[in-house]
Chains A and B, each alone.
Chain A
Amino acid sequence: MSSKEVSLLLISLKQYFYKLKAYSNLVHSLIIVQLFALLFSLGGVGGSMGGNGELSVSVKSYSSNIVIVFSLFWIMFIAVQLSTKSCKKMELPFVTNRLSGNLSNVGFLLTTCVFGGITSSLIGVLLRIIAYFTVDSSQIVFNGFLLAYGDLLQP
């Protein structure tokens, strides 16, 4: 029985999948953060009023940009978490070195970015739906309301 050589990439990949499972509960915090952001967005992000005495126009705009900002904060929070001592300690029982740990962290952060991005886009859709049913739908300016598939990535 002799010692075995292992490949860095393979171990990093295994660690990445381990982390996906281990930190799966972080998704709860994302849901909470995004719902909060949604709550803030529900009131609309800006409005303008105008009129000439006979006609008055009031415009209220809705945007889910704040959801993206909140999601970014969530990702930042995870990045900080991953570099804490307690998270580093969780790697130790497994096969690891600093490099593989960092590589798998990079992978995990990229995944959270993609996941956060997609869910933020979907929150944009949710906001539209809520707006559609809460605001008198005849008054909605539909420009930018209906999404083409490609627009899903830019709410």
Chain B
Amino acid sequence: MSVIQARDITKSYGKIKAIDHLSFEIEENKITGLIGRNGAGKTTLLKMIAGYIKPSSGELKVYTRNPFNSLDVSANTIFVDDNMTFPNSLTLKDILTEMAHFYANWHSSLAGGLFDYFGFNPKQPHSNLSKGTKSTFNSMLGIVSRCPLTIFDEPTTGMDSAVRKDFYKALLKDYIEYPRTIILSSHLLSELEEILEDILLINHGTKSLHLPVTELREFAVGIRGNAQAVLGFVEDKEIIYQEEFAKGSLYIVVRTELLEQRLEQVRQSSLEVLPVSTDDLCVYLTAKTKGGIDDVFKRG
């Protein structure tokens, strides 16, 4: 069963299209990573799924319902980002008790455990928290609310690396105990990769890729060596990324399926075949130019 079905959704702010005819489906009980550059439309998309904003056109269904202004979708969804606002009159402990009233699956003992582990001061108001601790607290709410659809929008902003690791571990452990659909958006794919099952890569509001992580790892290969030899092999194929790292020497990234049988030939020749990390691949796929930032400096 797919939890989220998006068909041709578009969201425009004035003349700018934040999301541009995007279609995808997200399966139940999967951890999906929403990856994209700054301004790719990640937050807009997540807010539409959570029902905060309405798509300008197209059809979006969450649990077969239109999420915008829907109480049922709201009851089954929690949207965690660092803009969550709580009144100053409530302390952190109060917030936990209040949240528990609203979410049916709320796991109080886990909430207490994590609260103590991360060393929050129960008497502190939410607005006094530092950036990192605020993210930690919000992410904790996302985990313990155990909503069938849990959405994290850049949950790790400001967290230090120890807390980040703890967060991923806690998320994974609770997911195993209580499977649910989780969407994580982030720039830091290298960190996330371990816990993700699927990756949805968006670029300028359109879908670049929607693949399981395992397939994404094999999606492309890098070939390094003499420039002419390299280009000879890939000729007419679409080059995802190209970098000149020394005179006459070239590194290119191409889709694996385009090479197939030729890959063996490449290996036998003097060229190096290297795997491409998913993190780099996502950067290459969403880059505006084939050569990355180097192009800018070459021109100058």
Contacts and interface: CB of A to CB of B under 8 A. Distances in A.
Interface of A: 1-6, 8, 11, 14, 17-18, 21-25, 86, 89-90, 92-100
Contacts of A1: 29, 148, 179-180
A3 B72 contact: yes
Nearest to B180: A1
Contacts of A11: 71, 75, 102
B103 A25 contact: no
Given A4-B76, A4-B104, A6-B75, A98 B85 contact: no
Given A8-B71, A90-B85, 8 more contacts: A3-B76, A11-B75, A17-B101, A22-B86, A86-B85, A90-B87, A96-B74, A99-B69
Given A23-B87, A25-B89, A92-B79, A97 B102 contact: no
B72 A5 contact: yes
A96 B51 CA distance: 10
B202 to A, nearest CB: 23
B103 A97 contact: no
A89 B86 CA distance: 8
A90 B86 contact: yes
Contacts of A86: 85
28 contacts: A1-B179, A1-B180, A2-B148, A3-B63, A3-B73, A3-B148, A4-B76, A6-B71, A6-B72, A18-B98, A21-B89, A21-B94, A21-B98, A22-B90, A22-B98, A23-B87, A25-B88, A86-B85, A89-B85, A90-B85, A92-B85, A93-B84, A93-B85, A93-B99, A93-B141, A94-B102, A95-B102, A98-B69
A92 to B, nearest CB: 7
Chain B's interface size range is 20 to 34
Interface string B44-60: 00000001100000000
Given A1-B179, A93-B141, A22 B89 contact: yes
Nearest to B87: A22
Nearest to B103: A95
- When A and B form their complex, which 5 residue pairs have the shortest distance between CB atoms, in order from nearest? A22-B87, A3-B63, A6-B75, A3-B76, A89-B85
A56 B264 CA distance: 120
Interface string B80-118: 000111111110001000110111100000000000000
B75 A4 contact: yes
Contacts of B85: 86, 89-90, 92-93
B78 interface: yes
B256 interface: no
Contacts of A8: 71
A1 B72 CA distance: 14
A24 B94 CA distance: 13
B97 to A, nearest CB: 9
Contacts of A93: 78-79, 84-86, 99, 141
A98 B86 CA distance: 18
Nearest to A18: B98
Interface in B158-183: 179-180
B70 to A, nearest CB: 6
Nearest to B181: A1
Contacts of A90: 85-87
Contacts of B73: 3
A40 B103 CA distance: 48
A100 B73 CA distance: 13
Contacts of A99: 69, 71
A18 B75 contact: no
